[in-house]
Structure 1
Amino acid sequence: MIEARVIRAWAAFFTAERRAATLAAIIMVQGLCALFFIADVIIDLGEGDHLDHLHMTLEAAASLALIGGMVFLMLELRRMLARMQEMDAGLRAARGRMGEVIEGFFDDWGLTPSERDVALMILKGFENKEIAEIRGAAPGTVRAQSAKVYAKAGVGGRAQLLSLFMDELLSGEAPAHGAG
């Protein structure tokens, strides 16, 4: 569950990066178009044309519109990049907060290093069989360690263990461990 949210957050971040790159490319194209029209107006003025001709007026108006659009898009790009930085900082803070919450609970429960590994993998969504394969342990050993984690945490199983951490993170309060 937690991993899916992290993946969605990173996907949104990369989508925002693509949007920023697209905006930057549009700004560059608009800049080139504006330069073309401005250069054309300057050349036409040098050849004796006047701004009262419809052609010249349209080119001047197009240049101004493109420059206005560039300014607007640059402001939007700047705002979007600032928002991306805020989101990234929030994600880093949430990750750090989650780590603090997990370590605090594990310390309060007095988990052994092996039990900590098993508990962390349970929180990441791994099943006992997968945990056993990753740790190179027997499935029975992982089941026994899981049972010890649940007993020390004062919960009946995986869902309740995860619920402890989610409640802590969603409460927005200082860690209040000692649930067991």
Structure 2
Amino acid sequence: MTRKWVIGGVLLVQALAAIFFVFDILASILGIYTPPVPWEIRELMEVGAALGLVLGFFLGAAMLRRIIRERNTAQERLRRASGAFMDLLEERFAEWALTPAERDVALFAIKGMSTSEIAALRATSEGTVKAQTNAIYRKAGVSGRPQLLSLFIDDLMRDDVTDQVRPKSAA
């Protein structure tokens, strides 16, 4: 909350500084009369406006660095999560003793492809793919694709707290 106020304050100072300089230039160009201000006050206003613009520049640069760092962190986490999901898939496929063909079919099914799409990709008949998916469901102990997918989602959503509370035999 405090950070938002600081950023808002700096942006306000920067906007006022920009308005000051733009108005000063336009007043000179258009010949708009402005009442005279003592030179000391005028100098303080110019210095304050310049400092506001410089402060805004440095704050903007710091925020940009932070945003880039956060984006890179998010990309790294996504990469790790993607790798973790693939590791989880391989672990479960090995646990269920899926054949290489069943692994391919299971992966395509988890990706949301239809039976006909899987058959076309694997250059097999739809009947073969249906038989393989039934074998996958039987080995995984599920009745269909939604339950198969939910097994992986549950594994990914499980955190350390649930692992500590849940007995090891149930994990």
TM-score, normalization: structure 2? Answer: 0.68
* Pairing 1:141–2:128 present: yes
Q: What is the CA distance between 1:144 and its match in structure 2? A: 0.7
Distance in 1 between the 2:152 and 2:51 partners?
Answer: 56
Rg larger in structure:
2
Q: What is the CA distance between 1:57 and its match in structure 2? A: 4.1
- Residue type of the partner of 1:133? A
Q: What is the CA distance between 1:79 and its match in structure 2? A: 1.3
Identity of aligned residues (%): 42
> Which of 98, 103, 111 in structure 2 is aligned with 1:124?
111
- Residue type of the partner of 2:125? A
The higher-RCO structure (CA 8 Å, 6+ apart) is: 1
Q: Where in structure 2 are the equivalents of 1:19-98 lying within 5 Å?
A: 52=40, 54=42, 56-98=43-85
> Which of 146, 154, 162 in structure 2 is aligned with 1:159?
146
**Residue 168 of structure 1 aligns with which residue?**
155
State the aligned residue count.
130
Q: Which of structure 1's runs of 4+ aligned residues deviate more than 6 A?
A: none
**Residue 114 of structure 1 aligns with which residue?**
101
TM-score, normalization: structure 1? Answer: 0.65
Distance in 1 between the 2:134 and 2:79 partners?
Answer: 32
Coordinate RMSD, CA, aligned = 2.6
Q: What is the CA distance between 1:61 and its match in structure 2? A: 2.4
